[in-house]
Amino acid sequence: MNVAEKINHKKVVHWYRKDQRTDDHEIISRLQVTKSLTCFFIEDPKSNMEHPLGFPLIHKHRKTFLQESLDALQKTLKKQNIQLHIFKTIDELMASDLLQADILTYQKLCGTEELTIEKKVQSLFKDSISFQDFTLVNPADLPFSVAQMPPMFTAFRKKIENHAVYQAPISIPELPESTISSAMQGGEKAALKRIATYFYKQQGLSRYKETRNGMIGQDYSSRLSPWLANGNISARMVYHFIRDYEMTVTSNESTYWLFFELLWRDFFQLQLQRHGAAFFKKGGIQNRPLTLQNHEKKFWKWAHGQTGDDLVDANMEELKTTGWMSNRGRQNVASYLVHDLHVNWQWGAAWMEHLLIDYDPASNWGNWMYIAGVGHDPRPFRKFNTVGQAERYDPNGEYRRLWLK
């Protein structure tokens, strides 16, 4: 039985998670077949918790982007006479009349914390149905089981490309005429504006591979990750617009490379589903013993951009100020903490989780394991020469002057 048949003439309650949009949505697109639809969102329990080192697990940068996303969603749903309840805790959900619904619908996520709360919420309803739309490739369509997926990205990518079964959007929204370049604001409309700007107005996608290692400005990369992390836009929708761009503007190595990055994102999501809690352990999925130390003084110098390494310090200052850092910056600061300061990589991953507006557990912790040499890489570690990296990617020192002034 498909989704439409199962929710037909039912009182449906939809649990919004990382699918914060109305277009290309499994349930909203089938609103007409339901008897009624009400939606809810539960705040992350980490919102008011602290790391053992004393910093909040979720910084105001992340909270602000999420709140913008939820405000925009609530406003759009209201226009369709759909109510979105925002619950601070699962207890508030339990005290509501939403539990009288015929069926719960929700997006399936693979993180350990996400699976824990899923079990609790699911148990409160008579019936439920989940869907897998956070990745480009539906796990059910993989040419292998999740348990047997290749441990290295290249082998995974080749198998996926040879199989070539990607999820298609349920509906295609019209891109807005007004566009934006730099506003990192939560919400579906802002995500679509970013696509309209970066892809079609600036045609930045044509140059993506050449510019993606930049650090200054707003348009060296697509910057779609914050909206993807909250589900303001889906990976399958981004893929749709990549293909449209290739057919209507140009198809080249750069257009392929953004698709390539979507596959990296899928790779980490599926590896988290496969390995679970090992993603967050010091020895990673390899269970490799590490000599990294819990050295607080070194960690705080790194976190506050006071290491004395200009490239590292500039990137950490940008992160602290904006909640954003380039991919090139993320690799360098992670390498420096692990391989130069010899500090526990888990602390670095937690600091990034605290600040990044595009935080996603699979991508964040998967990349940190990769740098620390306990993840999906046959090499023992990936050390970056930050002096050489600065000379290559910031040869005139413009980025470092910008953030260290």
Cα angle 156, 158, 160 (rounded to 5 degrees) comes to 70
**Res 379 pLDDT > 80:** no
**pLDDT tens figures, 131-155:** 999 999 999 999 999 999 999 999 9
pLDDT band at 380 (very low <50, low <70, confident <90, very high): low
Could you tell me which residue, 28 or 405, shows the higher pLDDT? 28
Using CB atoms within 10 Å of the CB of residue 80, give its burial: 0 to 12 exposed, 13 to 18 middle, 19+ buried. exposed
**What pLDDT was estimated at residue 217?**
85
Residue boundaries of the structural domains of the chain: 9-131, 139-276, 281-404
* CATH 1.10.3720.10 holds for 9-131: no
Section 377-382 average pLDDT: 69
Using CB atoms within 10 Å of the CB of residue 32, give its burial: 0 to 12 exposed, 13 to 18 middle, 19+ buried. exposed
pLDDT band at 179 (very low <50, low <70, confident <90, very high): low
**What pLDDT was estimated at residue 392?**
95
**Spatial contact of 328 and 213, defined as CB atoms under 8 Å apart:** yes
Section 23-51 average pLDDT: 94
CATH class of 281-404: mainly alpha
**What pLDDT was estimated at residue 292?**
86
Section 2-15 average pLDDT: 91
Section 82-101 average pLDDT: 96
Domains 9-131 and 281-404 belong to one CATH topology: no
**Res 181 pLDDT > 60:** no
**pLDDT tens figures, 266-285:** 999 999 999 999 999 999 99
Residue with tokens 């579906």: 188
**Res 87 pLDDT > 80:** yes
**Res 290 pLDDT > 90:** no
Instruction: Return the minimum-mean-pLDDT range out of 65-79, 185-199, 308-322, 369-383.
Output: 369-383
pTM above 0.85, yes or no: yes
User: How many residues does the structure list for the chain?
Assistant: 405
**What pLDDT was estimated at residue 1?**
62
* CATH 1.25.40.80 holds for 139-276: yes
**Res 249 pLDDT > 70:** yes
**Res 184 pLDDT > 90:** no
Please state the φ and ψ torsions of residue 105, each to the nearest 5 degrees.
Answer: -120, 145
**What pLDDT was estimated at residue 374?**
92
Cα angle 166, 262, 58 (rounded to 5 degrees) comes to 125
Whole-number percent of the chain with pLDDT over 90: 90
**Integer Cα distance of 371 and 362 in angstroms:** 14
Rounded mean pLDDT of the chain? 94
**Spatial contact of 363 and 261, defined as CB atoms under 8 Å apart:** no
**What pLDDT was estimated at residue 25?**
96
CA 355 from centroid of its chain's CA atoms? 13
